[in-house]
Structure 1
């Protein structure tokens, strides 16, 4: 059994994520301090075929790194300054131009609600797909070497390094590489990329229409006909390892209940989790998320003794506003003090949770739209913030009777009059509409 296990490790090492074993004069890499799940790593290694390997000698001055993270990642580049400034990937990116922030291919919330409204209005079926090991599909255009990860080293060549030909989970360039690979393919089969939201792709040929939304590795697909849906899913399945999750019912923690021409979006389970995390499962519910007291101030009360808990719950409430526009303003108020929370802000946050306790079943309803006109409403206060004297404005946008987008945000500058505050609010909602 021991010999069989060792033979499997050697075979897995030779198939490691589209890499090639090449000669290296470097000494053996020190053991990693991370304790990884070997079976999980094996699954990702076996996701690559032998055609992705190539025997090449390692050139001098190229990027090389130690295996870290999940299954081994490329380390800090060595060579010129442009390679050294890229962290793990070792490419020619420049700080302030195309690095410094994490690239995340996610679709806008308003786009999701718009596509769902269109599908309901046309009585189209909505399917959900999942890409297996999405980041492993990305193509690398840089020369990146990595040490053989622990547990998958070749017995005959333990000091050799691997030349990456595909991206790995944990590489800073992996999300961008995957998104570019996916974008290039769907455009090649007839989709057009939206200019307003780059995670939305539209297929329109004759009477055939399809909308595709991608959120990292989760895909929503709605088509005008069943034949078109099967055709597109077959094309996607031929190119990527896809899972058909069936009709749209659960997406990013949102439960979806659909009738003939209506859809209800709810985060009830997520709401209960927030209440439990706050330790308020037995609290008394209240009728409103905010009270009538003066607005929160940064100096109105002593500092809260557990700022980590405050930030954790405030961040969780932010995601809950995906289906709960009724708490948008209250959450915006408590999130302004995440850097320095006070007792008053903590009491305001607890009031939101008490409100959620009595409204866990609330959500957002989308229905069939007969009138496709956009309507927007906006309002703003004046010098409402007691600390900065800035104004807070909010808006909501409707497509027919469906609520698509909403926001509550404090202005970046002080308005000199109530009229200026109102006009700045109008400018914000006009930018959202366009």
Structure 2
């Protein structure tokens, strides 16, 4: 072929006919230029690919006809191209310009790769889960074998523990009902550990004086935990955490309690009988107290002594062998003088209870414990993140202070908040966060005073605390060895700070060496007639705390040779130094 190849496009009878655009003059020796988006330069490939025909009724294009750009001004323009090679072997190996003797068009398109811009790859997990969902009722749980096995294991453990005995039903019995609680137990890596089913009682139907009595159970104070950890760090003792499996099931009941038989596990021979409980179950009002009394009776038989200042602290002291044991419901901290004493105590406890040694203290009551050498850092990082998530403030901007420096909020400062339940839940969570965050104690105390009737301004104050926590989630309490056992305290008070009752707010903090042990921010119970009276009421509070700490140290065989001094900041900008004596007798304030 020596001449140019031309092709006339046939009109489509199904489309409306339009007048073609006029042709533009074009020289075969000049490259095509476009006013719109730049097009890639056409080139001859090693093989002839398929051609795309946009009109299904038009005749097919010639396989040697090059694809023309879809520019409207050149849609009907015929162009001259050199003859293609007669065979694939004669095809050139490199790209050539569309017109011989002319420079290739300049490429002006830029891609993201040229500017080092890349989008992250999102890997999707296409594996389907095989976890059986939590059943909505015991009848549904009896069908899946996984939940049926979990219920059977729980029931067998209760029967083996001799938790109840079947007795005939009597008309005058106060019978409480029982419920099945289902839960997925996951490992630390997120994988499923086991299906957990627990049988609990509905304690709301119990009657005081008939099937329950005293229900109060003491727990260890935060100041005691800080003090024991400080003493253990100062003596380089090992600090271990213990856990009791099914702690409440070990408690013995003194009252007579009747319960319906568990659903799905009724005795076929005595279906009308009821269960007379001999040991406590989860959900009973007296279950925590029964477990505490059972544990206390046992450790006292092993040589421990119960502290008079702290009922949840047990002290073992025989010669050089010394051990401290702290009990908080079913979580236990044990620090001992030697590893031999630790093993001996663990063997004794494991023989009586289903006790597990979790190793060095790392996570206690939701607190993350980080040990670096002789120092220890207590943090509520995960718990603080959970509070922010519960408040739906994950993307909020942090602030520098937890409370506004303006005027205090009153009871009727604005309209009532529309969701008091959410306010009370978050306020209670922030109150527990002060276990390791003394910097928010005053702000949390202010919002907790209005939990009975929160307003919109109170809600905004609560959100400000959460915004402050958003930027300080890594804050916590730092403990290090105390070179000398000496107490130091600071106290302050504002006069008539409450806009509603005109009562004052007092606060204090107590140090053992450089470690912060105890702190408080509390509104005073009565109105003070002067700023001096408000300060003296604050002094009385901190003196009471110091006397308690000194007596606790005496029980731990830590004799304080120096008097406790603390600083009182008065409204008149005077600083008084007050000395508290408590070495060998009652504490006396001079």
Range into which the TM-score falls when normalised by the shorter chain:
0.7 to 0.9
Higher relative CO (Cα under 8 Å, sequence separation at least 6) belongs to: 1
| Distance in 2 (alpha carbons) for counterparts of 1:304 and 1:331 | 17
User: Within the alignment, does 1:431 sit opposite 2:431 as a pair?
Assistant: no
Residue 69 of structure 1 aligns to a residue whose secondary structure is strand
Larger-Rg structure:
2
1:245 offset after TM fit, Å?
Answer: 1.1
Are the structure 2 counterparts of residues 370 and 61 from structure 1 closer, same or farther at C-alpha, using a change threshold of 3 Å? farther
- TM-score of the two chains, using structure 2 as the length reference: 0.62
Counterpart position of 1:45: 155
| Distance in 2 (alpha carbons) for counterparts of 1:157 and 1:224 | 55
Stretch of structure 1 that moved more, 335-344 or 223-232: 335-344
Higher helix share: 1
User: Within the alignment, does 1:182 sit opposite 2:295 as a pair?
Assistant: yes
1:162 offset after TM fit, Å?
Answer: 2.2
Counterpart position of 1:65: 175
Would you say the 8 A contact 2:169–2:272 is kept in 1?
Answer: no
| Distance in 1 (alpha carbons) for counterparts of 2:166 and 2:508 | 58
User: Within the alignment, does 1:392 sit opposite 2:505 as a pair?
Assistant: yes
Residue 252 of structure 2 aligns to a residue whose secondary structure is coil
Counterpart position of 2:477: 364
Structure 1, unpaired ranges of 5+: 1-30, 78-82
Would you say the 8 A contact 1:34–1:69 is kept in 2?
Answer: no
Would you say the 8 A contact 1:208–1:225 is kept in 2?
Answer: yes
| Distance in 2 (alpha carbons) for counterparts of 1:110 and 1:284 | 33
| Distance in 2 (alpha carbons) for counterparts of 1:337 and 1:121 | 42
Are the structure 2 counterparts of residues 42 and 107 from structure 1 closer, same or farther at C-alpha, using a change threshold of 3 Å? farther
Which of 308, 313, 327 is residue 214 of structure 1 equivalent to? 327
1:50 offset after TM fit, Å?
Answer: 5.0
Which of 265, 279, 283 is residue 152 of structure 1 equivalent to? 265
Which of 343, 347, 350 is residue 234 of structure 1 equivalent to? 347
User: Within the alignment, does 1:279 sit opposite 2:392 as a pair?
Assistant: yes
Would you say the 8 A contact 1:297–1:386 is kept in 2?
Answer: yes
- TM-score of the two chains, using structure 1 as the length reference: 0.83
| Distance in 2 (alpha carbons) for counterparts of 1:325 and 1:54 | 46
| Distance in 2 (alpha carbons) for counterparts of 1:186 and 1:112 | 19
Q: Deviations over 1:356-413 (max 9, x none)?
A: 1111111110000111111111110111111100000000011111101101000111
Which of 456, 468, 491 is residue 355 of structure 1 equivalent to? 468
Are the structure 2 counterparts of residues 210 and 382 from structure 1 closer, same or farther at C-alpha, using a change threshold of 3 Å? same
User: Within the alignment, does 1:333 sit opposite 2:455 as a pair?
Assistant: no
Are the structure 2 counterparts of residues 414 and 48 from structure 1 closer, same or farther at C-alpha, using a change threshold of 3 Å? same
Which of 201, 207, 223 is residue 110 of structure 1 equivalent to? 223
Are the structure 2 counterparts of residues 426 and 146 from structure 1 closer, same or farther at C-alpha, using a change threshold of 3 Å? same
Would you say the 8 A contact 2:315–2:322 is kept in 1?
Answer: yes
| Distance in 2 (alpha carbons) for counterparts of 1:420 and 1:393 | 11
Would you say the 8 A contact 2:380–2:436 is kept in 1?
Answer: yes
Are the structure 2 counterparts of residues 207 and 427 from structure 1 closer, same or farther at C-alpha, using a change threshold of 3 Å? same
Residue 178 of structure 2 aligns to a residue whose secondary structure is coil
1:126 offset after TM fit, Å?
Answer: 0.7
Are the structure 2 counterparts of residues 43 and 355 from structure 1 closer, same or farther at C-alpha, using a change threshold of 3 Å? same
Which of 380, 383, 393 is residue 493 of structure 2 equivalent to? 380
